[in-house]
Structure 1
Amino acid sequence: MSHKTKGIILVLIQFGLLIAIIGLPHGDVWAVTELVGNIAVLLLMAGLAITLFGIVSLGNSLTATPVPKATAVLRTTGMYAIVRHPIYLGLILIGLGLTVPAGSLFTVFAFVLLIVLLSYKARFEERLLIEKFPQYRAYAARVGRIIPFVGKLKN
């Protein structure tokens, strides 16, 4: 399977999981209080802001899949100085913001699958970035993968 095909499949699964989190039946496993609702809104807003900032920061290097463009430029400043995959961090916060008010173990399961998928997707993307950018390995040794300070690449 080509990198491009694999990338497209990963993106489709990612959006499928986000849609599942939204569309799965809500439950009553935990109380959805006003506080829970407010926390969910804050998580959604933070996730959207981080995702949009990551998208804007990539500029012309942005691609729909984890496969870098031939003309891509390695970004290591701004949000990319804090985490290597800010868009994935934003998507996780969005997923959590959608999961919290659902009160359902089904949505928790879909959210956990989203985290596993994004972690796999980040590792797949990083293999390609290391091939394309020799300096990526040093960058990855300094900066956390999806969470600041966590998942630094060992030299």
Structure 2
Amino acid sequence: MKRALAVALVSAQFLLLLALGLLPHGTLWPVNLAVVVAAIVLAGGGSVFAVLGVRGLGPALTASPIPREHAPLVTNGVYGLVRSPIYTGLMTGGVGLVLLGASVWHLVAWLALLLLLAGKARWEERMLVAEHPDYAAYGARVGRFLPGVGRLNP
């Protein structure tokens, strides 16, 4: 059951990201040079942050939100800034795609992605607390998606 939920969440995440890239453009705001530059900065910055998160995990990396058994707890690098840098990067990059898309559907897809990643992170963190005795103290120091925001109660 746990594996099936993990596959469903990861699949939904990729479908929402794909939707952000493929939905038809709208007219909620003009997509001028300033919007394009902001979108590129956000999408590029989000991508870099997500890749740093992927690289930082090393042997603990898994596509599933279910942590690898006996993998080390990573708390340095970008994981010293936020607990979920990959998700932060995906959300940030998604904002860039929303800016370019300029449609209600882009906003809806991004909000769905935000809710999905927030729920996925909470589920993942419950498993990390069970797997790593130091995770609760780490979560009390480091924000979930933004530095200092969403810290766990000690």
- For the criterion TM > 0.5, the same-fold answer is yes
Structure 1 match to 2:47: 48
**What is the CA distance between 1:5 and its match in structure 2?**
1.7
Q: CA RMSD in A?
A: 0.7
* Farther-moved stretch of structure 1 (4-13 vs 29-38): 4-13
Query: For residues 37-92 of structure 1, what are the alpha-carbon distances to aligned partners after superposition, in whole Å with 9 as ceiling and x for unaligned?
Result: 00000001101110110000001110011101113110001100110000000000
Alignment-mate amino acid for residue 143 of structure 2? G
| Alignment of 1:33 onto 2:32 | yes
Deviation, structure 1 residue 126: 0.2
In structure 2, the residue corresponding to 1:64 is in which secondary structure? coil
Q: 1:9, CA displacement in angstroms?
A: 0.8
Provide the identity percentage: 43
Instruction: Specify the alignment match of 1:124 in structure 2.
Output: 123
What secondary structure, in the 3-state scheme, does the structure 2 residue paired with 1:120 have?
helix
- Runs (4+) of structure 1 exceeding 2 A deviation are none
Distance in 2, Cα, partners of 1:35 & 1:71:
47
For 2:139 and 2:82, locate their aligned partners in 1 and report how far apart those are by CA, in whole Å: 9
Equivalent residue letter for 1:29:
L
Aligned positions of 1:59-138 closer than 5 A: 59-138=58-137
For residue 129 of structure 1, what is the amino acid of its counterpart? L
2: CA distance, partners of 1:106 / 1:41 = 20
Separation of aligned partners in 2, 1:131 and 1:5: 20
Cα distance in 2, alignment partners of residues 70 and 140 from structure 1: 19
Equivalent AA in structure 2 for residue 132 of structure 1: E
Which amino acid is the alignment partner of residue 18 of structure 1? Answer: L
* 2: CA distance, partners of 1:4 / 1:138: 27
What's the TM-score once normalised by structure 2's chain length? 0.98
Structure 1 unaligned segments of length 5 or more: list them. none
After superposition, the C-alpha distances for 1:86-126 in whole angstroms (9 at most, x for unaligned) are 00000001111111111101100100010000000000000
In 1, the alpha carbon distance for the partners of 2:62 and 2:94 equals: 21
